[in-house]
Structure 1
């Protein structure tokens, strides 16, 4: 799939089934995604791949701080794909490259990864919400003091029985570009 097709056809996919990429395939795709712009080549991110029993650990952690939701409700929010790739942002505090630029590098890499997953036939969606606001999950995942979750990519194969995704209308960018003369 060429880059234009990938950019124009990638959509967030909510109904995901097996198979998902294995650890080695994920690393292979990440190696390419890591070429995204990264001032200082800091790689201010890391991934934690969660599947199978690991998903139960995430659900249990969230259940501790959300007694208003049943475990089944939390599981329905968390276990939506065979692979949950947790994106950990680990900025280099005090570095000459400011934190906002490091965050931009992590986001650019993640977008590149989403495009690569799509080009390989996988579906994915970037999830935030409870994962990013949890007080207990970072400890359970072994995050350092300076690290924080930016969310997770739910990754798998698109469900062929899901309704087709709506086509996006062309983006009108005329009001988003100015020329300084």
Structure 2
């Protein structure tokens, strides 16, 4: 079994993390590696935004504004580091927007695997407010960009992994093309 297979198979979401977080310098090689996902025409239609300290309060106010509430949401305070995942499509006659958004999602997932493998707890959070004007403005998004959510990153609490996760039954999800005489229901 390879290290990559083991890392992917053992991946977990850590909904609760401790106050430690990787530094900007520690993130750079992980982001560089995550950026190696399959990317038709090498457009790199994504970007990431680090949110630390008071940036999380700014986001909390934007979330509450998007939800029609006053004050600041405490959701962004659940981790010391949030990494906003932004789909930033490029003009291309060959690569449609949906494919470019898939690349950005791939970068986020790859980065979450790399962070987990480096010993950090990670949870990818989304919400209806990810596409709100207030949250987009707080992140400085351009007109063509969309926020796909945030990787919440911090230390892994305790020594062990959280509870058992049921394995995926691959035979339910992997098939062949149907033969002409096969009937689908």
Decide: shared fold, TM above 0.5: yes
* 3-state SS of 2:40 partner: coil
- Partner of 2:26 in structure 1? 25
Give the gaps of 5 or more residues in structure 2: 180-185
| Contact 1:16-1:80 within 8 A present in 2 as well | yes
Mapped to 2, the partners of 1:131 and 1:83 lie a distance apart of: 19
- Structure (1 or 2) with the larger CA radius of gyration: 2
State how far apart, in whole Å, the 2-side matches of 1:14 and 1:4 are. 23
Does the 8 Å contact 2:86/2:146 carry over to 1? yes
Q: Deviations over 1:57-108 (max 9, x none)?
A: 111222233344x646x21x22110001011111114442111111111111
Decide whether aligned partners of structure 1 residues 164 and 29 sit closer, same or farther in structure 2, where only a CA change above 3 A counts: closer
Query: Which structure ranks higher in relative contact order (CA pairs < 8 Å, sequence separation ≥ 6)?
Result: 1
Instruction: Give me the TM-score of the superposition, normalised by structure 1.
Output: 0.88
Q: Does 2:59 correspond to 1:62? A: no
Contact 1:124 1:156 in 2 (8 A): yes
Name structure 1 gaps, 5 residues minimum: none
Whether the 8 Å CA contact 1:16–1:159 is kept in 2: the answer is yes
| TM-score, normalisation: structure 2 | 0.87
The match for 1:133 is: 131
Q: C-alpha separation between the residues in 1 aligned to 2:146 and 2:9?
A: 31
Alignment match, 2:182: none
Matched, 1:175 2:172: yes
Does residue 13 of structure 2 align to residue 3 of structure 1?
Answer: no
Residue number among 95, 98, 101 corresponding to 1:100 in the alignment: 98
For the structure 1 residues 65 and 168, does the alpha-carbon distance in structure 2 shift closer, same or farther, using more than 3 Å as the test? closer
Q: Is contact 1:14–1:125 with CA below 8 Å preserved after alignment?
A: yes
Take 1:10 and 1:65, find their aligned partners in 2: how far apart are those partners?
A: 32
